Amino acid sequence: MVKKTDTKIISIKKAVSWIKDGMTVALGEFSYQNLPMEVVREIIRTRKKDLTIISGPTSGLATDMLISAGCVSRVVTAGVGFEDVAGIAPGFRSACERGTLEVWECDECMWQAGLEAAARGQPFALWQGGIGSDIPSLNPSIHLVVVSPAGEVKRVRSLGNAARRAKATGGQIFLQIPPIVPDITFIHAATADELGFVQYPQKRYLGRVFNEKLLSEATRGPVIATVEKIVSHEQIMKHPELTVIRNAWVAQAPRGAWPGGCNGVYPPDLKAYRAYVRSGGDVHLFLGEGTV
């Protein structure tokens, strides 16, 4: 039996109250999947502002709604879009065109490398994908470096300089990715117990989970999971291999990813996505209950 003092159950209102203006907030959404939409609605209702949102690596509706509502000043993502419904999400497009949103430019692998550096307590990660791209010029916190055989890391200004130095020293060229560290993380999942063990069903979309575990490991503060159903610890332990996160705070939110999908439980409502795109990013469309 779970002792009352051990329980990790929390209300969504309480969890969102931990967000302060200006914080770095991670959302465990990946495109259409696992959007913590009940959290997003509460963030909008309580008018949080100047947030940095880490989501994705390809972000979706949760991030776009927060941008449209004026809660976000910066995003850390490879893009915000709705796949075949809209290549670029309307709130993201509008904010970028107005110049009111800062974008931490990266691709999906750089996004993951930065989170892995944070999770491991490393000062940076080295990544060879993206060498020769414009990412270092678009993102001043990502540097082109040459690493010598002895492990010395030397920043260089151009790919030509990097190639000459690598040839002279026998070194290798990398991009140096800084750690990406959320202050607080919100995910959505299928089930969890009162001790904060979070699971997705065995039959999952694409047969896998997405970024939830990595985001939680990189986070310096609390991790909160909204879930379709809270179950007993005994039920969780029948299949311990399905546990993705341990010791999370847990809030029950049936259909809490709608209109997104919950991995292994229900698919996204693409009709609702199309309605949102037609509206130009009207956040009020999804602040209430029901379907479009």
Residues written for the chain: 292
Helix (H, G, I), strand (E, B) or coil at 224: strand
Residue 22 belongs to what domain range? 4-106+181-286
List, in sequence order, the alpha helices (H) in 99-247. 108-120, 135-138, 159-169, 212-218, 233-236
Q: What is the pLDDT of residue 3?
A: 61
Based on the fold, state whether residues 129 and 219 are members of the same structural domain.
no
Strand order in the sheet with 143-147: 125-127, 172-177, 143-147, 153-155
Report which DSSP code applies to 153.
E
Query: Which secondary structure element, helix H or strand E, spans residue 22, and what is its range?
Result: none
Host H or E run for residue 51: strand 51-55
Over its C-alpha atoms, the chain yields an Rg (Å, rounded) of: 20
The C-alpha angle 249, 255, 259, rounded to 5 degrees, equals 115
Residue 227 lies in a domain: yes
Boundary-marking domain end, from 137, 158, 177: 177
C-alpha–C-alpha distance, residues 118 and 125, integer Å? 9
Residue 39 lies in a domain: yes
CA angle 222, 226, 227 (to 5 degrees): 135
Clarify whether residues 70 and 154 are in a common domain.
Answer: no
Number of domains the chain is built from: 2
CB atoms within 10 A of CB 5: 5
**Same domain, yes or no, for 50 and 133?**
no
Q: Which residues of the chain are modeled with pLDDT < 70?
A: 1-5, 289-292
Q: Is residue 76 domain-shared with residue 215, that is, in the same domain?
A: yes
- DSSP bridge pairs for 160: none
Question: What is the 3 state secondary structure string of 52-100?
Answer: EEEECCEECHHHHHHHHCCCEEEEECCEECCCCCCCCCHHHHHHHHHCC
- Mark whether 173 and 196 lie in a shared domain: no
Give the pLDDT confidence of 211-247 residue by residue, as tens digits.
Answer: 999 999 999 999 999 999 999 999 999 999 999 999 9
pLDDT at 290: 43
**Of the candidates 30, 139, 169, 145, the residue with the CA atom closest to the CA atom of residue 74:** 139
For residue 62, the domain's CATH number is: 3.40.1080.10
53 and 188 housed in the same domain: yes
- Global confidence as pTM: 0.93
- What residues contact 192, with CB distance under 8 A and at least 6 apart? 198, 199, 225, 227, 230, 231, 236, 248, 250
